[in-house]
Amino acid sequence: MSEKKVVFSGIQPTGTIHLGNYLGAVQGWVNRQDTKDNFFCVVDLHALTVPQEPDLLRQQTRELTALLIACGIDPDKSTLFIQSHVAAHAEACWLLNCVTPLGWLHRMTQYKDKAAKQESILTGLLDYPVLMTGDILLYDAHEVPVGDDQKQHVELARDIAIRFNNLYDSPFFVVPEVVIPPVAARVMGLNDPAVKMSKSHSHIRGHAVALLDEPKEILRSFKKAVTDNHNEIAFSADPERAGVNNLLGIYKAITGKPNDAVEADFANARGYGDLKVGVAELVIKTLAPIKARYEQLIADPAELDRILAQGAAQANAVAAAKVDAMKHLMGLVVPGGAHVASAE
């Protein structure tokens, strides 16, 4: 067995991923591929917890996978797969449903927020965190890197793991840790630097920069970015200057330079116009090779299918054995199950 820590990351195939996702999450995923044993899962089953247009969901799922590869996720180093390709995820969800008290799910703040916005609430929406728990526990993930909004779900996964272990066999599941990724840039909306750049605001022009935006569009979005009238290019925690701080933060996240070096790079700027163009040009240069690789992949569906089949086979090899062991512990007859019993 490898000594590397197992890390599980999930990403929803809805909306288009943008610069905030890239700098805040995906870049970190790419960089940790040599030091961790990574599972990257495109969580299409989670997407179904709110109404979706079937053809669009299918298309976005393929596009996201291609985009992740284009960003540098290497299918030979990491396990990249689509959640619904590995049947154990839906099965684990059911099994875990049967050890999870309903009250735990009603407490989830994301459920409460999302439910308040829906006319009719689907059962799957309430069950979302149990599906997510299965994702994590099937691979005995030690670490789950997530944003603040998903922390409560990973804490629930810990509670469910502990409960399952206490009920059936300790330590059957690894109790996962939440990892809030370090230095992951918190990229704010260009049109409104008080809110995080978000997929759900992507329809608002000038809010987000999608990874596949044309250079012209990127430049336009940056030129229209909200700033302030202080006319000082410096990092600042002052909410009034959040726009400039955000532009510098993007530059910093891409270059990896410390704050003073970032500020020094703009020492000769004649104003915010120069700052906006400077950051836009860097973003365009960073995204160009990603876009080129993406176009190549999406034009070759057979190659993408091959990569997806490889990822699903790798994930399934781990997840199918784990779910069989869960079934056995819970009292189900596993087909040809003598081997499960004797593996204890």
Check binding of 89 to ligand TRP (CB under 6 A).
no
Which residue in the shown chain puts its C-beta closest to ligand TRP? 10
187 vs 252: CA distance, rounded Å: 11
**77, 199, 257, 291: the active-site residue:** 199
> In this chain, which of 23, 26, 43, 64 binds ligand TRP, going by CB under 6 A?
43
> In this chain, which of 6, 7, 12, 202 binds ligand TRP, going by CB under 6 A?
12
184 vs 22: CA distance, rounded Å: 10
Nearer to ligand TRP, 96 or 136 (CB): 136
**5, 77, 196, 257: the active-site residue:** 196
Stretch binding ligand TRP (CB under 6 A), from 4-12, 13-21, 194-202, 211-219: 4-12
281 vs 317: CA distance, rounded Å: 44
> In this chain, which of 18, 32, 36, 46 binds ligand TRP, going by CB under 6 A?
46
What's the min distance (Å) between Cβ of 207 and ligand TRP? 19
In order of 4, 102, 105, the CA distances from 110 in angstroms are 32, 15, 10
In one-letter notation, the amino acid at residue 336 is G
Is 327 labeled as catalytic in the residue annotation?
A: no
> In this chain, which of 16, 84, 150, 314 binds ligand TRP, going by CB under 6 A?
150
**5, 77, 114, 257: the active-site residue:** 114
Is 199 labeled as catalytic in the residue annotation?
A: yes
What's the min distance (Å) between Cβ of 89 and ligand TRP? 9
Radius of gyration of the chain (CA): 22
Q: How many residues bind ligand TRP (CB under 6 A)?
A: 12
Supply 163's token pair: 């409960």
In order of 182, 235, 259, the CA distances from 248 in angstroms are 18, 7, 8
> In this chain, which of 146, 218, 254, 340 binds ligand TRP, going by CB under 6 A?
146
134 vs 8: CA distance, rounded Å: 11
In one-letter notation, the amino acid at residue 322 is K
Nearer to ligand TRP, 93 or 283 (CB): 93
299 vs 311: CA distance, rounded Å: 20
Is 77 labeled as catalytic in the residue annotation?
A: no
Helix (H) or strand (E) holding 262: helix 259-265
Phi, psi (deg, nearest 5) at residue 177: -100, 140
Nearer to ligand TRP, 10 or 243 (CB): 10
Contact present, 154 and 178 (Cβ < 8 Å): yes
DSSP string, 49-79: TS---HHHHHHHHHHHHHHHHHHT--TTTSE
Stretch binding ligand TRP (CB under 6 A), from 2-10, 13-21, 242-250, 293-301: 2-10
Active site residues: 114, 196, 199
Binding-site ranges for ligand TRP (CB under 6 A): 8-10, 12, 43, 46, 132, 135-136, 144, 146, 150
